[in-house]
Structures are given as C-alpha cells and as structure tokens.
Amino acid sequence: MLTHLPALQVLIPLMAAPLCLFLRRPHLVWMFTLIVSGLAFLISVALLQQVMVSGPIIYEMGGWSGPWGIEYRIDRLSAFLSLIITAMSTVVLIAAQTSIDKEIPKNRQIYFYILFLFALTGLLGIVSTGDVFNVFVFLEISSLSTYALIALGKDRRALWAAYQYLIMGTIGATFILISIGLMYQMTGTLNMADLAVLLPEVAQTRTIFAAFAFFVVGVCLKLALFPLHLWLPNAYAYAPSIVTAFLAATATKVAVYLLIRFTYSIFGISFSFTTLPLQTLFVVLGLVGVFVASTAAVYQKNVKHVFAYSSVAQVGYMIVGFSIGTTAGLMATLLHLFNHALMKGALFLALGAVMYRIGSVQLSSFNGLGRQMPFTMAAIVAGGLSLIGVPLTVGFVSKWYLVMASIENGWWPVAVLILLGSLFAIVYVWRIIEAAYFKDPVAGKEPAKEAPLAFLIPIWLLVGANIYFGIDTRLSIQVAQAAAHSLLGISP
Amino acid sequence: MTTVLGLYNYWIVVVLMMIGLYIVIANGNLVKKIIGLNIFQTSVFIFYISLGKVDGGTAPILVEGVELYSNPLTHVLILTAIVVSLATTALGLAIVVRIKEAYGSIEEEEIQIKDNKEC
Amino acid sequence: MLIAATVAMLVVMALTIIRGFLGPTFYDRILAVNMFGTKTVLLISLLGFVMGRPEFLDIAIVYALINFISVIGVLRFSNSPVFKHDIQEKDSGENSS
Amino acid sequence: MAFLVCVAIAIVRLKDLFAVAMLAGIYGLLSASLFVSMDAVDVAFTEASVGAGISTLLMLTTIAMTGRSEKTSGHKPLLALTVVCVTGALLIYATLDMPSYGDVNSAANLHVVQRYLNDSFMEIGVENIVTSVLASYRGFDTFGEVVVIFTAGIGVLALLSFSRREKDDSEIDSINESMHEEHLVVRIVSKILIPFILLFALYVQFHGDFGPGGGFQAGVIFAAAIILYAMLFGMSVARRVINQSFVQLFAAVGVLLYGGVGVVSMLSGGNFLDYNVLAADPVAGQHLGILLIELGVGIAVAMVVIIIFFNFASRIGFSSEGDKL
Amino acid sequence: MMDMVIGIGSALCLLLGSFLCLSGGIGIIRFPDFYTRMHAAGVSDTLAASMILIGLMLQNPEMIVMMKLVMILLMTLFISPTASHAIAKAAMNSGLQPLLVQAETKTGDKSSHL
C-alpha cells in the first residue's frame, strides 16, 4: 500500500466526498471529514519523510508511464506544500462544526463539507500532479468548490464576491488553458518533466513567450498579485469564517506553488528571468503590492478586510522573494509560505471565533473585547505580532531570510522597502489591539463570552506553532532549503 | 502568403476569443458576462481542435485503409474542458439567481450602489 | 453534388442567421433558431458524406433532438409570468418603431 | 468561421438577453459543426449537447427568473478595449511562430500522439482512439472531469436547494397546468420521442468504443430527455417520478463507481485506474474497465445535470412569488 | 445501369432539396410578417430535409447508415411540424397578430376578429 501513497493522498478526500452524501447527518459528516483530512495529513507527513530521504516519487496513473499517461510526481516542494494544506485543513476543520452550525442553515451543511473536501482535493491534486493539463482540471475542482463555498456566506455580499471571483478565476483558468495549448502546440507533450526537456529547443519562439505570458497572468489572477487582487478582499471578508481561514492559509499558496513550479522546473530559470523581463516586473509589482495593500489595510473598518488586504501584501513579499531567483530568495519564499499559512490561519480562525460570539467583525465591535475574550484576543495579538515580524515569531524568521536574500543579491533598496512595509503592518495591527484593549466596550451591550473550546484548541495550536517555529527554526528551514535546492538543481 | 493562409484559422479564433473577453469585461449584466465567458471558452476549444487538425486526416476512429488521423489528444483535452465549462456556467448562473433574489437586480452597477449604501 | 448541397446549406444558414439578427419579434428569432438547427442537421449529414465517414450521423441525430428540446425550452420559459409581461412590452415597442 | 464572428458580434450588440441566449445556442451549434469539419466528432457531439443544449437551457431558465432586458449602462469600455487589444495582439504575435494549420509535422502531431495512433489498438483494443485516450491513458483527467461536474452539482444544490418545497410545488403546479393544456400536440409527440431519446442515450453510452460518443454524451442526452419531460409535464410530476435525494445518491454512486474501478485495480496489484489487472488478459481488462468507468461517467453526469436543472427550474416559481410580494 | 439510375436519382433529390432550402431561406428573409415567414420555413424545411436525406440514402448502401438516416428522417418529420406548431401557437397566444388581421382591424372590419 505504501507505493500508492501519492495517489491515495488525493484520492482519499476525493472518494470521501461523495460518500458524505450517504451519511446524511451533518454531525457524522463533520466527524468523517475530520478523519479524512487527518488521514490525508498523516499521508503527507509520511510522503515528506520519504521524499526527503529518497528524492522524487513518481506514480503512474493507470499504469501508463511517462508522457503518455498522467503521472504524479512528488518532490520536496510538493510534499512540503501538501503538508501545509492538509495540516491547515485538519486544524481548521476542528473548529468547523461549531462555526458552521451558526453560519450555515442545517440543510446545507452536508454540502458545505463535501465542497470543503473537494477544495482540499483540488489543491492537493494541483501540488502533486506532474501533468500540466491535470493541473488545469484540479485547479477547476478547487476553484469551483471555492466559489460555492464563498457564496455560502451569510451576507448577501458574499454572493457578489463569489460571482466576481468566479469571473476572474475563470478568466485566469482559461488563460492557463491557452498557455497549455500553446506549449502543447510547440512541444507535443503535456508532461512536466518532458516539457522541461523539450522546451529549451523551442524557447526562442514567439509562441512560447506568449505561452509564458498567459500563464503568468492567469496564475497572478489566482494569486491575487497586485493589480489583479481586486476579487480577494471581498471574497475573504464575506465567506464563512472557516472557509476564509482555510483559503487564506492555502489557496494563494498553491498559486505561488504553480508559479514556482512553472518558472523554475518547466520553463527554466534562465528563460524566465534572463530572456524575459519577469524579474524586474515581479519585484516592482510585489513591492507596489505590499505598499498599496498595506495602506488599504490601514483604512479598512472590517477586520476581515484588514487581514485580507494584508494577505495581498504578504503575497507581494512572496513574489519578491521568488523573483530574487537565488536559493536564499526561494527559500525565504517557501518559508514565508509556511509561516504565512500558520499566522493567517490563526488570525482568521480567531476572527471566526469573534464572529461566533458577537456576530460581527467590524472594528468598532472589537471595543473592549480584550477583557471579554482574553484568549482569542491574545491569539490575535500573537498572530499580529507575527505578521509584523517581531522576533521569536515565525514572521520574523521569514522576513529575516527575505531581507538577507535581497542583501546578498545586492538589492539594498529592496531590503529597505521590505522593512518599511512592516511598519504598515504595525499600524494596522495596532488599530485592532487599541480597539480591543484600550477602548471601553459600547455601553449597554451584552458582554461577549470567551470562545468555545472547539475554537480555542485549533487557534492555540496554530499560535503555538507560530511561536515554536519562530524559536526552533531547524525543521522548517531544513525542508525549505532542501526544496529550494532541488528546484534549482543543486544537490544538498 | 503561405503564413497568412496557414494562420488564418488561428487569427479568427483570436478575434473570437477577444470578443468573448470583451463581453466579460465591458458588460454590466451578469448573465451576459457568463455568456461572454462561454464564448471565450468555446473559442479556446476551437483553437485546441484546430491545432490538432491534420491535412488529409480523418476523425481518429480506426478504420481499415486509412493511415492519417487527426490528433486525438486535443479532442480528449477539450472534452474535459467542455465539461469544466459547463460546470462553471451552471455554478455561475446559480450564483446569479441568488444575486437576483438578494439584490433584486443583475446589473453590476446597481449592485455596487446598493453595496456602498450598506457600508 | 454533395458539395453543391453543402454550399446551399451554408447559404441558407447565413440567411436564417440574418433573420435571427433582424428579429423583429421574439418569435421570429425562435423560428430562425429552429430553422438553423434543422439546417445544421442536414449540413452535418452532408459533411459526413463529403468526408467519407458516414457513420457520424449520430451527431446529426443528437442535433435534431437538442434542437427540439431547446425550442421547447424557449417556449416553456417564455411562458413564465414575469416574462410574458416583459415580452409584450418589448414587442409593442418594436412594432411601433 | 466567419459565421461565428458575426454571431459573436451580434451577441455583443444585442441588448435583449433572450435573443442573446438563443444566439449563444446558435454559436454552440456552429462551433460544433466546425468541430465536425475539423474531424473532432466526439467533441462536436459534446459541444452540441452542452453548448447548444444544456447551457442554453440553463441560461434561459436564469433569464426567465432575472428578467430579460439589459439596461444600458454608462460603462467605460475603454479599459476593456485596451485589455482585449493587448491580449489579442499578444495572441496574434504568438501565432506568428506557429506551425501552420493542418501541418502534419507540427510537434503537436508528432510526439506523444504517435503512440496513441499506432499502439492504442493493440494495447486497449478500442477503435475509437479518443475513447481509449480519454478512458485509459488519461483516465485520471476524466475522473477529474467527473468530479468537476459533481462539484458543480453539489454547489448548485448548496446554493439553490430550499426546504419550503410543499408550498412552492403547488405554485409551480398552477403554472404548469396552464402549460399543458396549451401544448397538446407537443406533449403527445414528446411522449413518443422520450423513450426513443432514452434508447438513443443507451446506444451512445455503449457505442462509444466504435464511434463517437461515450459516457458523458450519453449522460447529457439522458438528462435532456428527463428535462424535456419535466418541462412539458411540470416540475412536480417530474419530481414525483424522479426523487431528488435519490438522484443525488445516484450521482454519488456514479462518481464512486469510477473511483471504485480505480481502487479495485489498486487492490489487485496495479496502479490506480490500471485496468490491465482487472482481467486475466490485459485487453479484456481494459475493455471491462472502460465499460465500467463510462457507465460511471454516464450515471454521474446524467444525474448531476438533472439536479442542476431541477434546482434552477424550481426556483422559477420561487422568484416569481417573491416578485409578487 | 442500376447504379447510374440511383446516382442520378440521388443527385436529383439533393438538388431539389437544396433548391427548396434556398427558397425557404429567401422566404424567411423576404416575407413581410411572422406567420408568412413561419410558413416559408416550416413547409420548405420538412420537404427539403426529407429530399436531402433521401438523396443521401440513395448514395449509401450500408445498412447501419441507412438506418440512421431513416431515423433522422423520421425525427425531422416528427419534430419539425411540432416545433412550428408550438411556435405559432405561442406567438398567437402572446397576442402577435398576422399582418392580414392587423390590416383588417385597422380598416375597421370586425368580422375577422379572433
């Protein structure tokens, strides 16, 4: 059975989803989903271990090898990503039942879990496949389920946000489809490894340039890189809290993964960065994104909006690290992927808890919450500190590596700008802290109780991880480094 | 001249794609946006199929005595893609129906005005 | 001969499309769509023969069916109350112009 | 080809959504004929039933609920035009280095495909290469495709299903009652046609090995027959004939059947979806596997399309009721 | 000899069908109001389609192809009039009046009122 692990990881959530329909009782379905997600998590741990020791695993779907069939190719990067995804989904699901009970009508809860499983499947499928068209199919599985999940939000603006996301996401996916078509036309293959071999021969054609351009634009739409980020804040803000936490922690990460996978492993770094002006473009866009989004975050009234804009800013950091193009830069990006998933997961879950208790996440309703929900607010503070990049949290680690990487490359201004960006983070996190601890609660309002345990456990799990990986960085750095090395073709 | 003839097909496809994309971006009506999306996707399908066409070939179903077939792989890919586009359309329209019920309108601008009032 | 018939079919299709554009009433358009569908069925059967693979007539059958179903669909949904009102409004506007 | 451009431009210009939806249907038909002329018969099959059939129906249903005329808005199309022009220019630029249309020796037609063309009959034993690639070489993609459509079905259910069924049924009933009094002829002809359509769906389902067709197309045709029935005899009658939750379960069964074949092959020692191990003889195994998964696809697709349509259609009564209030 | 007769027969059928189609197409463009256009479309459609299909049948000796063609023919014969009927009826119900009636009601002749 061990040899089937790469396939099983995707298949278990996939097959479990239709089974949910047979269970009928939301409570049972929740348990089942949680177990399935946990199982996927265990598999991903096993896979990561295996990959770290033995190198990439290749699994041939249907027994057809190479470019003829579809193969799954798990290398360090994809194992790392699937670890993040499954870990986040499991943690988030612990809180799901409590939160969903309140936010979604009973007769739709089963569908919620099924869609959640499909979203998980899609994301896992994207990271583990070795076939570009299969990427498209799984991208659509995850996006379709995400649209529906967002539209399940209570507010009617959720529908509008979902619709916008659907339009943007589909355009993005279609762009990716065009790009795949162009690549196929020039090389005659869809297999990633095969493409990497065949592309350099035709790399100097205009068709491949266009293919690359379409791919980048398509992924950036999914990635919400500035200026294509417009769908993201609303989608995050109005989706059910659980969905927000899951998406914020995973979806953009997978898009970053795609970008890394295509530029580094398929097109090859020299093509991406020297033949085309991608590097400068990305650094500029990334930095502008950091500043614009951070500024926007400062002015938001809805706390979910604040963190959503901060997500856009964080994506900017990742893109900067990614476009530095050295091992250090890439490693910083990967670290940030992991760390950002941890902190955003914690923050949005905490917001979910607030939502659960007081039914609103407007900044004004946070007044005095520091005393009413001490544990939840403490978690938000910890997450916020991590977002700023205070030492002893994970945010510090990844920012440190990012700055180091840019200095190493001789990009002083970039390093300075990254640090400046953190200042903005201080401002917007401070506004929340100020409201929670230094303002009196609105008179006459029922004081809120502390969040239920179902929330506190996953929140503090994530916060704990935030601090643990901030202090003991060996594990995460080792994995990120190995992944970065293998991507750049350097043996560790 | 040969390039013009050889690429004419692709150019038409490009024009079609752009018309679809234009509808999606420029139109304010939600249903029409989805129709535009459909056109855009269908044009991409045509692009795929035309790159798999082989002069003098026939449909890739084996019969005796025929040596040249068109490319079956693109057909397979597009079959999958058509299904995906159907799924997207269905879901998109479902959201539109809900929007109509929630906002009483399916015009982009009216919805935005109503949203801004709430904020 | 087949080719000639195919060309004729294409011409007729063009004509029906023009009618579909011009309208002027809603039912003209349905009619155009219906006729267009029938012509497509014929075109596909002819194409099958032109290309020498007549076993593809299945597609023509599907077309005929789908065409019928969509015409019925159009009529069915044009019957909903919200809608009828709309049509009449529209038609009267168009006729007067 | 020029037809397509005309239709597309007309779609841009027309404001009447109903006409637009119908033109979209024509667009589907046209592109399907184009697919036939480019040898892609399976694709034409699917596009005809999806693009011209189901999508159009769904759009019509939606429009029936949301109103048909589009308001002219003072949108600024300038931005859109620039975006479109830039993208278009990029694509045209990309075409300049492409192999010309119909080139036998282009890379796309040489590399991977040759194996499918030359060896697939020996390895799989199915005349229709599209079917063998779809179901076996790239079987996992197809599985993904089934999952996509299932996801859409669940998404629609999650968005549109509602609990106040009893009351609305009567509402819909009253609308339908008037409907079938009017269309006696249509009803009788449809009564004759529906069994035939169902039979044809079965034919398509099992004939996919030799000619165009397969599970997906069959599923759509099957669903189309049911939809026709529902349109003519009323949603409530159709609901009585086909129970909603039963349909849901069946859709799940379809997906599970596909996946189950994969798991069985996994258990019997092959990889996921490796049909060779299903029977003693690899080719027989492939046949069995393809038959089963096509069946799975057919069931899942038919049920999902029915789910989607039913949920849309039962909303009509709901929203018109809302309008009155 | 037989072959030639069949060949000529099929060619004739095809030609006739094409001609009918074309005339229908011209009719749908040129006729003044909906009901006349409907007439042009409906009547020419059915005959033209059957002509062309019969022409095709004559071309091909294979049994299965023949069967399919017969099926298409039967279906057009069923579907086309039904669809035309449905459209016309719907148009009538929605209050769209033939040109003739419109003209007459304008001149004040009440006898032909519906």
Q: Secondary structure of chain E in the HEC alphabet? A: CHHHHHHHHHHHHHHHHHHHHHHHHHHHHHCCCHHHHHHHHHHHHHHHHHHHHHHHHHHCCCHHHHHHHHHHHHHHHHHHHHHHHHHHHHHHHCCCCCHHHHHHHHHCCCCCCC
Smallest Cα–Cα separation from D312: which of B89, A20, A82?
A: B89
Q: Which residues of E touch D183 (CB under 8 A)?
A: 86, 89
Domain-embedded: residue D95? no
> Tell me, what's the pLDDT at A97?
82
> Tell me, what's the pLDDT at D14?
64
Domain endpoint, select from D40, D67, D94 = D67
Closest alpha carbon within chain B to C56: B59
Q: Does A489 or C95 have the greater pLDDT score?
A: A489
Q: Does A203 or A131 have the greater pLDDT score?
A: A131
> Tell me, what's the pLDDT at A137?
92
> Distance between CA D318 and CA B100 in Å, rounded?
12
> Distance between CA A492 and CA A55 in Å, rounded?
11
Contact A13/A99 with Cβ under 8 angstroms? no
Give the pLDDT confidence of A143-189 residue by residue, as tens digits: 999 999 988 887 778 888 888 889 989 999 999 999 998 888 888 88
Smallest Cα–Cα separation from A259: which of A278, A244, A237?
A: A278
Number of alpha carbons in the 13 Å side-chain half-sphere of residue D6? 15
> Tell me, what's the pLDDT at D162?
62
Does residue E62 register a pLDDT over 80? no
Q: Does E88 or D183 have the greater pLDDT score?
A: E88
Res. A123 pLDDT band, cuts 50 70 90: very high
Note whether E85 contacts D: Cβ–Cβ < 8 A: yes
Q: Which of E41, E48, E62 sits opposite C31 (nearest CB)?
A: E41
Q: Which of E26, E86, E96 sits opposite C15 (nearest CB)?
A: E26
Give the pLDDT confidence of B53-89 residue by residue, as tens digits: 777 777 777 777 677 778 888 888 888 899 899 999 9
A58 - beta bridge partners?
Answer: A73
Using CB atoms, list chains with 3+ pairs below 8 Å to chain E: C, D
Contact A343/A386 with Cβ under 8 angstroms? yes
Using CB atoms, list chains with 3+ pairs below 8 Å to chain B: A, C, D
Q: Which of E78, E79, E93 sits opposite D182 (nearest CB)?
A: E93
Task: Please tell me whether residues D52 and D164 are part of one structural domain.
Answer: no
Closest alpha carbon within chain D to E83: D186
Does residue C83 register a pLDDT over 60? no
Domain-embedded: residue D78? no
Domain-embedded: residue D172? yes
> Tell me, what's the pLDDT at D225?
87
Contact D252 A188 (CB under 8 A): no
Distance from CA of D275 to the nearest CA of B (A): 19
Does residue A388 register a pLDDT over 80? yes
Domain-embedded: residue D214? yes
Number of alpha carbons in the 13 Å side-chain half-sphere of residue A375? 16
> Distance between CA A283 and CA D64 in Å, rounded?
48
> Distance between CA D253 and CA D303 in Å, rounded?
10
> Distance between CA A425 and CA A420 in Å, rounded?
9
Q: Which residues of A touch B87 (CB under 8 A)?
A: 140, 144
Res. D16 pLDDT band, cuts 50 70 90: low
Mean pLDDT across A409-415: 81
> Distance between CA A160 and CA B113 in Å, rounded?
12
Does residue D182 register a pLDDT over 60? no
Contacts of D205 (CB under 8 A, 6+ apart): D213, D214, D215, D218, D219, D294, D295, D298
> Tell me, what's the pLDDT at D19?
74
Q: Does B4 or D284 have the greater pLDDT score?
A: D284
Distance from CA of C39 to the nearest CA of E (A): 8
Q: Which of D18, D32, D67 sits opposite C82 (nearest CB)?
A: D67
Amino acid at site D54: I
Tally of domains within chain D: 2
Task: Please tell me whether residues D169 and D281 are part of one structural domain.
Answer: yes
| Phi, psi dihedral angles at C45 (to 5 degrees) | -65, -40
User: DSSP state, D69?
Assistant: B
Q: Which residues of A touch B71 (CB under 8 A)?
A: none
> Distance between CA D126 and CA A11 in Å, rounded?
27
Mean pLDDT across E80-108: 70
**Chain B interface residues (partner A, CB cutoff 8 A):** 17, 21, 24, 30, 33, 37, 40-41, 44, 47-48, 51, 73-74, 77, 80-81, 84, 87-88, 91-92, 95-96, 98-99, 102-103, 111, 115, 118-119
Contact B59 C52 (CB under 8 A): no
Domain-embedded: residue A176? no
A57 SS3 class: strand
> Distance between CA A36 and CA A86 in Å, rounded?
10
Contact D130 B87 (CB under 8 A): no
Contacts of A275 (CB under 8 A, 6+ apart): A203, A204
> Tell me, what's the pLDDT at D129?
80
Mean pLDDT across A16-20: 87
> Tell me, what's the pLDDT at D266?
82
Does ipTM exceed 0.90?
Answer: no
Residue reference for tokens 């960085």: A473
Percent of chain A residues topping a pLDDT of 70: 96
> Distance between CA D33 and CA D29 in Å, rounded?
6
Percent of chain D residues topping a pLDDT of 70: 79
Q: Which residues of A touch B73 (CB under 8 A)?
A: 190
Q: Which of D11, D27, D121 sits opposite B62 (nearest CB)?
A: D121
Q: How far is CA C7 from CA C3, C39, D26, E17, E58, in A?
A: 6, 12, 19, 12, 20
Domain-embedded: residue A459? yes
Contact A252/A223 with Cβ under 8 angstroms? yes
> Distance between CA A58 and CA A50 in Å, rounded?
12
Mean pLDDT across E77-97: 78
> Distance between CA E41 and CA E63 in Å, rounded?
31
Domain with D11 in it: 1-67
Domain-embedded: residue A320? yes
Give the pLDDT confidence of A339-356 residue by residue, as tens digits: 888 888 888 888 888 888
Distance from CA of C11 to the nearest CA of B (A): 20
* Minimum mean pLDDT range among A366-370, B43-47, D193-197: A366-370
* Beta strands per DSSP E along chain D: none
> Tell me, what's the pLDDT at E99?
65
Q: Which residues of C touch E67 (CB under 8 A)?
A: none
Contact D20/D7 with Cβ under 8 angstroms? no
The H or E element that residue A74 is part of is strand A71-74
Q: Which residues of A touch D136 (CB under 8 A)?
A: 62, 64
> Distance between CA A448 and CA A443 in Å, rounded?
13
Residue reference for tokens 């779809």: D134
Does residue C44 register a pLDDT over 50? yes
- In this structure, the dihedral spanned by the alpha carbons of residues A161, A164, A166 and A168, taken in order and rounded to 10 degrees, is -140
Give the pLDDT confidence of B25-35 residue by residue, as tens digits: 877 788 888 88
> Tell me, what's the pLDDT at A118?
92
> Tell me, what's the pLDDT at A259?
87
Res. A72 pLDDT band, cuts 50 70 90: confident
Average pLDDT of chain A to the nearest whole number: 84
Burial class (CB in 10 A: 0-12, 13-18, 19+), C21: middle
Smallest Cα–Cα separation from A180: which of A190, A170, A172, A171?
A: A190
Note whether C12 contacts E: Cβ–Cβ < 8 A: yes
Distance of CA A174 to the CA centre of its chain: 21
Does residue C81 register a pLDDT over 70? no
Average pLDDT of chain E to the nearest whole number: 77
Task: Please tell me whether residues D164 and D310 are part of one structural domain.
Answer: yes
> Distance between CA D79 and CA D83 in Å, rounded?
6
For A286, other C-beta atoms within 10 Å of its C-beta total: 25
The H or E element that residue A72 is part of is strand A71-74
Does residue D234 register a pLDDT over 80? no
Average pLDDT of chain D to the nearest whole number: 76
> Tell me, what's the pLDDT at B118?
62
Contact D265/D309 with Cβ under 8 angstroms? no
Domains of chain B: 2-53+66-118 (1.10.287.3510)
> Distance between CA B109 and CA B118 in Å, rounded?
15
For residue D112 the two structure tokens come to 């991977």
D69 - beta bridge partners?
Answer: D16
Task: Please tell me whether residues D134 and D58 are part of one structural domain.
Answer: no
Closest alpha carbon within chain D to B79: D43
Smallest Cα–Cα separation from A256: which of A299, A318, A328, A186?
A: A318
Distance of CA A360 to the CA centre of its chain: 25
Contact B103 A160 (CB under 8 A): yes
Give the pLDDT confidence of A209-260 residue by residue, as tens digits: 888 888 888 888 888 877 777 788 888 888 888 888 888 888 888 888 888 8
> Distance between CA D27 and CA D36 in Å, rounded?
14
- In this structure, the dihedral spanned by the alpha carbons of residues A373, A376, A381 and A387, taken in order and rounded to 10 degrees, is -150
Domain with A284 in it: 277-492
Domain-embedded: residue D81? no
Amino acid at site B93: L
Task: Please tell me whether residues D146 and D274 are part of one structural domain.
Answer: yes
Using CB atoms, list chains with 3+ pairs below 8 Å to chain D: A, B, C, E
Tally of domains within chain A: 1
The H or E element that residue A58 is part of is strand A57-60
Task: Please tell me whether residues D135 and D54 are part of one structural domain.
Answer: no
> Tell me, what's the pLDDT at C88?
44
Distance from CA of A64 to the nearest CA of D (A): 6
Pick from E67, E80, E82 the residue to mutate for testing the D interface (most D CBs within 10 Å): E82
Q: Does A271 or A41 have the greater pLDDT score?
A: A41
Q: Which residues of E touch C71 (CB under 8 A)?
A: 83, 86-87
Helices B2-26 & D77-95, crossing angle to 10 degrees? 150
Mean pLDDT across A287-297: 86
Contact A163 B30 (CB under 8 A): yes
Mean pLDDT across A425-450: 77
Give the pLDDT confidence of D79-111 residue by residue, as tens digits: 777 877 888 888 777 777 777 776 766 766 777
Domain-embedded: residue D77? no
Pick from D189, D193, D196 the residue to mutate for testing the E interface (most E CBs within 10 Å): D189
Give the pLDDT confidence of D30-77 residue by residue, as tens digits: 888 888 878 788 888 888 888 778 888 888 888 877 776 666 555 566
Contact B75 D43 (CB under 8 A): yes
Note whether E82 contacts D: Cβ–Cβ < 8 A: yes
For A191, other C-beta atoms within 10 Å of its C-beta total: 25
Res. A119 pLDDT band, cuts 50 70 90: very high
For residue A180 the two structure tokens come to 């795949």
Contact B58 C56 (CB under 8 A): no
Closest alpha carbon within chain D to A18: D252
Residue reference for tokens 């002329």: D37
Domain-embedded: residue A434? yes
Residue reference for tokens 């190479």: A66
Contact A239/A248 with Cβ under 8 angstroms? no
Does residue D241 register a pLDDT over 70? yes
Q: Which residues of C touch B58 (CB under 8 A)?
A: 51-53
Smallest Cα–Cα separation from A87: which of A47, A35, A39, A41?
A: A41
Note whether C61 contacts D: Cβ–Cβ < 8 A: yes
A72 - beta bridge partners?
Answer: A59, A129
Res. B3 pLDDT band, cuts 50 70 90: low
Closest alpha carbon within chain B to C50: B58
Pick from D180, D181, D185 the residue to mutate for testing the E interface (most E CBs within 10 Å): D185
Distance from CA of A16 to the nearest CA of B (A): 21
> Tell me, what's the pLDDT at E107?
55
Contact C5 E17 (CB under 8 A): yes
> Distance between CA A344 and CA A125 in Å, rounded?
23
Average pLDDT of chain B to the nearest whole number: 80
Contact C82/D68 with Cβ under 8 angstroms? no
D106-109: long-range contacts (C-beta < 8 A, 24 or more apart)?
D106/A185, D106/A188, D106/B51, D107/A185, D107/A186, D107/A187, D107/A188, D107/A198, D107/A202, D108/A184, D108/A185, D108/A186, D108/A187, D108/A188, D108/B51, D108/B52, D108/B71, D108/B74, D109/A188, D109/B52, D109/B54, D109/B71
